[in-house]
Copies of this chain bind each other. A is one copy, B any other.
């Protein structure tokens, strides 16, 4: 039988896109209600903590997705397989830079302070997984970590450049160059 009630988990991907589009401050409860089609009372029913709980749930969901689809593969698969897979995954996830990284955007915003643990954890875990992957070769850990940082910066910066220019090329070019560097060891 068809479900006739909304569920909390169904809301989260929608909330993610709304926060991406409007930012944390710009996404008012009114906007969220209109865009999701859920009434105010429903939203507060699922997220008694209000907007802050909504954003936290979104960040948690994003973290989980990256854990399963990016971080774990990086740590478990050989580099020559894991790196192209990561490239494909983020190319698809970020829509060639036109879909922003919510965690990165929050890091630049004032809300960074409210979600600092989630933000810090996301990048720390990504950096750690990538470092471990790159260390597979002859590199020192220091070298591998620096390469990992450069790669993550290229991805985040690539998104900014792509959004600023309206041109996917900046993202693709920055990411491709970074991954080629990472792969060559």
Contacts and interface: CB of A to CB of B under 8 A. Distances in A.
Interface of A: 21-23, 25-26, 100, 103-105, 107-110, 112, 116, 119-120, 122-124, 146, 149-150, 152-161, 163-166, 170, 173-174, 177-178
A166 B120 CA distance: 8
Contacts of A177: 146, 150
Q: How would you classify the secondary structure of chain A's contact residues: helix, strand, loop or mixed?
A: helix
B109 A26 contact: yes
B108 A163 contact: yes
Nearest to A124: B165
B108 A161 contact: no
| Copies of chain A in the complex | 2
B178 A150 contact: yes
A166 B21 CA distance: 25
Nearest to A122: B164
A118 B3 CA distance: 48
Nearest to A169: B149
Given A107-B164, A153-B158, 14 more contacts: A21-B110, A26-B109, A107-B161, A107-B163, A108-B160, A120-B164, A124-B165, A152-B157, A152-B161, A153-B157, A153-B160, A153-B174, A157-B158, A157-B160
A170 B153 contact: yes
Contact of A173 (B21, B116, B146, B160): B146
